[in-house]
Amino acid sequence: MKLLRQLSVAALGLFALQAAQSKNLIVYFTVPESVATEKLDGVSGASVIIKDNERLGSAEYLAKEVQKTAGGDLFRLETVQAYPTVHQQLLDFAQEEQRKNIRPALKAKPNLNGYETIFVAYSIWWYKLPMPLYSLFEQVDFSGKNIVPLVTHGGSRLSGTDRDIAQLQPKATVKDGFEYYLYKTTGADSTMEQKLADWLVRQGYAK
């Protein structure tokens, strides 16, 4: 009986450890534009999604849908300097940041302690990671973590950003990413939601 109790305690301890190690963190960078009706082009990678009367950036929308199926904590990556919310101004600003290779200062950085899988949601800006993502991956150590890219785009798909992340974080494991063209409408996309949920289940991320 005593041995059985010890084994039970050990099993509970192992279960608690595995549960703690399997916690998910969902980091997202988003810039919701102020003009929801303006159609975006394939290089912009920023938009507004309206769901349940809530105005969301496209990457935020993606992150919250991941949370529904996979669970986890949300962390919004924000920069000290605000981005323009008018479409063309944002395009120009993002292109200038890339041209100058700027690493924007971050308001805060995520604490990765206790997390095993880090979902990172972002939009493609000018066929690359938004520059704040370079700040994140150059300043935060993801060693030993699983990184799952989640991308919204206007036609460029992942655009090689998964490989860029792997180069920036060689001691992390970059998993297959999810990408979706999310600029057909400013309304919530039930097709995307179902495809994302199905993909999370197939990849073994469902809670």
Mean pLDDT value across the chain: 84
Q: How confident is the model at residue 155 (pLDDT cuts 50, 70, 90)?
A: confident
Of the candidates 205, 193, 195, the one whose C-alpha atom is nearest the C-alpha of residue 71 is 205
> What mean pLDDT comes out for the span 108-126?
96
| pLDDT on residue 17 | 41
Q: How confident is the model at residue 5 (pLDDT cuts 50, 70, 90)?
A: low
Angle between helix 58-70 and helix 190-202 axes, rounded to 10 deg: 50
Amino acid at the residue 166: A
Q: How confident is the model at residue 74 (pLDDT cuts 50, 70, 90)?
A: very high
Tokens at residue 120, please? 């990172």
Specify burial of residue 149 (Cβ count, 10 A radius: 0-12, 13-18, 19+): buried
d(CA 140, CA 163): 17
Judge whether residue 36 has pLDDT over 70: no
pLDDT in tens, 172-189: 999 999 999 876 667 678
pLDDT in tens, 123-134: 999 999 999 999
This model's pTM is above 0.75:
yes
